[in-house]
């Protein structure tokens, strides 16, 4: 048996195996045949389902391979009239000269629902960016109202909420894979203090 290797600086032991040694020649040859020539979708799914059953995996649903479809809603052209920020004069300071004019406050006309508290609402806005490759970071925090004298959450509740937050992100990650591959990021943090979307 091959000796275990150790990851430098971390002390993690691992074993590396060739894919052919781990799976044998049969599955690799079958996959190559599926890619090389025409194949019936029903036959592919039958073969895949048999392999999953033979491996002893209890699938929640029969495996079904599907070619990804087109991404709808991608615009052919983008409006550029608000692309660039207005340049700042030297008298406005070095920060403004580097990043453009500062955002200006807008009138907040946000409707409120029963049970939501509207307090210290501020909305700032300015057109465009100075950089030619802008990034946007949006963070929304939803926090529940706390009553005076409300007891703190127990360690058991904190652990359950943290576990839920991690499992939720593991469930969400495959669903937003196409978005993250474009360079975007998404995170949902659930805690006893509320929910934060970023």
The pLDDT value given to residue 117: 52
Mean confidence (pLDDT) of the chain? 78
Among the listed residues 81, 82, 78, 50, the one whose alpha carbon sits nearest the alpha carbon of residue 63? 50
Select from 113, 134, 155 the last residue of a domain: 134
> Is 103 among the domain residues?
yes
Instruction: Report the C-alpha gap between 25 and 104 in whole angstroms.
Output: 65
Q: Are residues 120 and 92 in the same domain?
A: yes
Mean pLDDT by 10 residues, the chain (198 residues): 78 82 77 73 78 73 69 82 82 83 75 53 80 77 79 86 88 82 82 86
Q: Are residues 140 and 84 part of one domain?
A: no
> How many domains does one find in the chain?
2
- The b-or-e profile of 18-40 (16+ CB within 10 A means b, else e) is eeeeeeeeeeeeeeeeeeeeeee
Among residues 82, 113, 134, which one ends one of the domains? Answer: 134
* Domain edge (last residue) among 115, 134, 153: 134
**Residue 63, pLDDT score:** 66
Please report whether residue 163 resides in a domain: yes
Within-domain flag for 40: no
Does residue 124 lie within any of the structural domains? yes
Strand pairing report for 123-125 and 5-7:
unpaired
Which residue range is the domain that position 90 belongs to? 73-134
> Within 10 Å of residue 100's Cβ, how many Cβ atoms?
20
pLDDT of residue 114: 47
């Amino acid at each position: 048996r091959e000796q275990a290797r150790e990851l430098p600086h971390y002390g993690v032991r691992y074993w590396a195996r060739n894919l052919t040694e781990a799976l044998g020649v049969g599955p690799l040859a079958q996959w190559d045949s599926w890619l090389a020539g025409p194949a019936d979708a029903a036959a592919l799914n039958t073969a895949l389902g048999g392999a999953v059953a033979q491996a002893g995996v209890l699938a929640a649903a029969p495996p079904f391979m599907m070619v990804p479809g087109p991404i709808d809603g991608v615009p052919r052209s983008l409006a550029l009239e608000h692309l660039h920020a207005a340049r700042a004069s030297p008298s406005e300071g070095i920060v403004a000269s580097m990043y453009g004019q500062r955002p200006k406050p807008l009138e907040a006309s946000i409707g409120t629902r029963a049970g939501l508290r509207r307090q210290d609402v501020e909305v700032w806005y300015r057109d465009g960016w100075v950089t030619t490759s802008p990034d946007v970071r949006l963070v929304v925090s939803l926090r529940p109202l706390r009553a005076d004298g409300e007891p703190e959450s127990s360690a058991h509740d904190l652990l359950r909420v943290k576990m839920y937050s991690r499992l939720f992100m593991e469930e969400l990650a495959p669903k937003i894979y196409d978005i993250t591959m474009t360079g975007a990021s998404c995170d949902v943090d659930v805690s006893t203090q509320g929910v934060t979307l970023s």
